[in-house]
Amino acid sequence: MDWRGWAEIVFTIAVTVAVGWPLGIYMARVWAGERTPLDLLLKPVETGFYAALGVDRNKGQNWLGYAGAVLAFSAAGFVLLYALLRLQGLLPLNPQGFDGLSPHLAFNTAVSFVTNTNWQSYGGETTMSSLSQMLGLTVQNFVSAGAGLAIAAAVARAFAADRGEMLGNFWVDLTRSVLYVLLPVSIVTALALVAAGVPQSLLANVTAKTLEGADQIIALFPVASQEAIKQWGTNGGGLFNVNSAHPLENPTPLTNLIEVVSLNALAFGTVIAFGRVAGARKEARALLAAMVILVGLGAAAIYSSETLTPQPAMIAAGITDAPANMEGKEVRFGAAASSIWAAQTTGASNGSVNSMHASYMPLGGGAAMFLMQLGEILPGGVGSGLYGMVVMALLAVFVAGLMVGRTPEYLGKKVESREIKFAMLAVLILPLAILGFSAIAAVLPVALEGLLNKGPRGLTEILYAYSSAAGNNGSAFAGLTANAPWWNTTLGIAMLLGRFAYMIPVIALAGAIAAKPKLKPTAGTLPSDSPLFVGLLIGIILILGGLQFFPALALGPIVEHFQVLAAVR
Amino acid sequence: MIANLRPAIVSMALFSLLLGLAYPLGVTGLAQALFPAQAGGSLIRNASGEVVGSRWVGQNFKDQAYLRPRPSAAGKDGYDAAGSSGSNLGPLNEDLAARIKTDAEALRAESPAPIPVDAVTTSGSGLDPHVSPANAARQVARIATARKAQPAEVQAVIAANTEGSTFGLLGEPRVNVLAVNLALDARWPRAQR
């Protein structure tokens, strides 16, 4: 490790927050239906959308109506994408002539993109036609993120309401989040990426004659346009098998900065927007602080692990000066840019990678996995990270309330048994899906066939896969060959649980919160904007995650770390 | 649910047109007009116009007279630009230890200088276009001998194709392998070697 590496990590987080903050202020206006500078261009499109959808933009939905709309929209997206992937071989814009996907791979991929996970059981350049990439995957990259933002808007309104019932209108929130936020930032980012070297081409591939006379087939795609929304929408599904480690997705340290910033900026911005809509700006900043501290700690842990852990394979080969673990990392990024990306992508339910986590040192890969297991709230997916963090804040005030014997409140809303039940229902889905499926897979021969590494590393491959799926992250310990019926199916189910079995209780929770009277803070209210509260919140997040996952982590990355130390002694 | 049927289906249709076709095609049009070289994959052509590679996509070089890239796990022989892949081997994997040992022995036969980490590790993509400056410097003597050139001249070609950290802050110093090899061939044309 060196000072430049630490400086790059701090700089990256700082730029991310600095870009996200004004975006959040802007997004609050979008959610509130206020005028924006883009109205001139987009207002007619928006109005046309509502007319075609048959939606009255002024008609609110209660929590059941809102949840029903989310589910209907996701179901329609799933059916369309599944059909597109199955029929790929018969459809145009397929210059490589790829066949349709197998049923289990199409199921897994369709679920993956509709749930904003973007787990890749496939290698993009060897499986997907240009049409599937654009009309299928890119579309879901936008709208699954838009659905997350819509729900965040509904949750924010619930806290602002005083004995209300309506949470807003899902179709309006979705349309405005996509048109006014995701589309413009993606266009700007895509063009910036092209300028910096990322291709954007409809050609399938180019054959180069190398200097030594060999043929090299270079796969090209409309990369930049999908890269942009893949990052902004915390989707993470890359054009290529190796995602943003591929030099055509991410050719320079500058494109790397653009991509890693756009990966987290909007999720941070969602917190700022929440604060404005819910009338709780200071409290939102406290949530933001907790996110920044934890993701920063995660990056520090990964960077330390990748630079300080002795490397048994190097020492065995007589290479004593090995300043960083470079297996699976690109020279242009090195350990620092790889570590901050790993922390931001696993903290954010994005799942894109610029280095192969499967080759990380045990504690580095373990830290990345733990960031996912903390619930994808640091800062989480766009929208989903915010509502996950609000659930944690509710649990934090509840625990504090138990300690001092007062009825807990958060943002002027009493937190009572109904709210805590919904919150726990949401929170419990992660350990259930991660540990439950991992336990079965760890003893099932058909599942174990997919593993590349043995021993604790093999267990980590399994745990990482289900953590990634249930957390809707999508990154992988890619040693696992997941394109097989068992893995595609169970990971698909874990993704569905992680998305919808979390989201529905949260929307119900928003309904319950909205219906409560908005109280003025009293002397007995625990301030939720203080450093003390930030500490309490961080404590709750770590204790909850630790209690749930520490035993499994001890059998995977932690024991492997001691094996590494024993191997070099 | 029935009330949601129409907006669900119609919105997916509209979003597909807007985001699945208009957005990528529009960006493609703009990108091809504004930045045609980058949009086309930063391809490098030789004097007769043939594509010899992309600035960003690593290639395999085995010849003594060329700067050699890192090991690669992409495809059977490495540097398969239509099948990117890392090795995904964990730090305790026996295959990893065996591979590093073999590669290190081959490199020691060539030069006694210390072996930089990137010379015996595969990149994440298997298509890393760069090597570290230390890795390049270690190959200078071999290239100079093969090309009957002065080591200092070869080192100068490498230095001209070396980039530092961007803004002194982002990423690591690196040497573009294909750029160096094109420059070497330009300075010492193949026929004269």
Residues B31 and B46 in one domain: no
Question: Over pLDDT 70: what percentage of chain B?
Answer: 98
Task: Measure CA A255 to chain center.
Answer: 19
The DSSP symbol for A215 reads E
| b/e B126-137 (16+ beta carbons within 10 angstroms → b) | bbbbbbbbbbbb
- Please tell me the distance from the alpha carbon of residue B62 to that of residue B75, in angstroms, as a whole number: 16
Residues B31 and B50 in one domain: no
A249 with B129: CB under 8 angstroms?
Answer: no
Contacts of A474 (CB under 8 A, 6+ apart): A112, A117, A118, A119, A120, A235, A236, A237, A349, A350, A351, A352, A468
Query: Binning pLDDT at 50, 70 and 90, where does residue A424 land?
Result: very high
The DSSP symbol for A1 reads -
Range of the domain at B20: 1-35
Query: Binning pLDDT at 50, 70 and 90, where does residue B191 land?
Result: low
Residues B11 and B50 in one domain: no
pTM score of the predicted model: 0.95
| pLDDT average, residue stretch A19-33 | 97
Residues B20 and B110 in one domain: no
Is A220 near chain B, with CB under 8 Å?
yes
Chain B residues whose CB is inside 8 A of the A11 CB are 169-170
Closest to A531 measured CA to CA, from A290, A271, A275, A284: A290
Over the stretch A94-123, which tens digit does the pLDDT of each residue have? Answer: 888 899 999 999 999 999 999 999 888 888
Domain count, chain B: 2
- Please tell me the distance from the alpha carbon of residue A321 to that of residue A335, in angstroms, as a whole number: 15
Residues B30 and B95 in one domain: no
Q: Which among A4, A197, A219 has the least Cβ separation from residue B56?
A: A197
Task: Measure CA A423 to chain center.
Answer: 20
**Chain B residue with minimal CA distance to A56?**
B7
Over the stretch B155-181, which tens digit does the pLDDT of each residue have? Answer: 999 999 999 999 999 999 999 999 999
- Please tell me the distance from the alpha carbon of residue A287 to that of residue A289, in angstroms, as a whole number: 5
Over the stretch A487-517, which tens digit does the pLDDT of each residue have? Answer: 999 999 999 999 999 999 999 999 999 999 9
| pLDDT average, residue stretch A436-443 | 95
Residue ranges of B 140-159 with Cβ closer than 8 A to chain A:
none
| CB contact (8 A) between residue A240 and residue B32 | no
Is B52 near chain A, with CB under 8 Å?
yes
Over the stretch A201-252, which tens digit does the pLDDT of each residue have? Answer: 988 789 999 998 889 998 888 899 999 999 999 998 878 889 999 999 999 9
**Chain A residue with minimal CA distance to B189?**
A211
Is A419 near chain B, with CB under 8 Å?
no
Token pair of A51 as six digits: 């007319």
Chain B residues whose CB is inside 8 A of the A241 CB are 83-85
Position A454 scores a pLDDT of: 82
Per-residue pLDDT for A536 more than 50?
A: yes
Per-residue pLDDT for B39 more than 50?
A: yes
Sign for the CA dihedral angle at B30, B31, B35, B40 comes to negative
**Chain A residue with minimal CA distance to B44?**
A208
CA angle A405/A545/A287 to nearest 5° reads 65
Across chain A, what does the average pLDDT equal?
A: 94
Closest to A422 measured CA to CA, from A338, A511, A519, A330: A511
| CB contact (8 A) between residue B27 and residue A332 | no
Position B193 scores a pLDDT of: 43
A90 with A100: CB under 8 angstroms?
Answer: yes
Residues B2 and B93 in one domain: no
| pLDDT average, residue stretch A385-406 | 93
Residues B29 and B111 in one domain: no
ipTM over 0.90: yes
Contacts of B18 (CB under 8 A, 6+ apart): A45, A183
Over the stretch A63-92, which tens digit does the pLDDT of each residue have? Answer: 999 999 999 999 999 999 999 999 999 998
Per-residue pLDDT for B149 more than 90?
A: yes
Q: How far is B110 from chain A (nearest CA, A)?
A: 15
| CB contact (8 A) between residue B27 and residue A224 | yes
**Chain B residue with minimal CA distance to A567?**
B92
Position A285 scores a pLDDT of: 97
Q: How far is A100 from chain B (nearest CA, A)?
A: 19
Radius of gyration of chain A (CA): 23
Tell me the three state secondary structure of residue A554: helix
Residues B30 and B63 in one domain: no
| CB contact (8 A) between residue A331 and residue B132 | yes
CA angle A462/A466/A468 to nearest 5° reads 115
Per-residue pLDDT for B69 more than 50?
A: yes
Q: Which among A242, A248, A318 has the least Cβ separation from residue B86?
A: A242
Query: Binning pLDDT at 50, 70 and 90, where does residue B192 land?
Result: very low
Residues B9 and B89 in one domain: no
Over the stretch A332-358, which tens digit does the pLDDT of each residue have? Answer: 999 999 999 999 999 998 889 999 999
Residues B30 and B99 in one domain: no
Closest to B87 measured CA to CA, from B136, B53, B132, B120: B120
Question: Over pLDDT 90: what percentage of chain B?
Answer: 90
Residues B94 and B171 in one domain: yes
| CB contact (8 A) between residue A72 and residue B4 | yes
| CB contact (8 A) between residue B54 and residue A191 | no
The strand ranges marked E within A275-397 are none
Residues B142 and B183 in one domain: yes
| CB contact (8 A) between residue B11 and residue A53 | yes
Token pair of A248 as six digits: 């055509």
| CB contact (8 A) between residue B40 and residue A199 | yes
Q: For A562, what's the count of Cα atoms within 13 Å in the CB-facing half-sphere?
A: 7
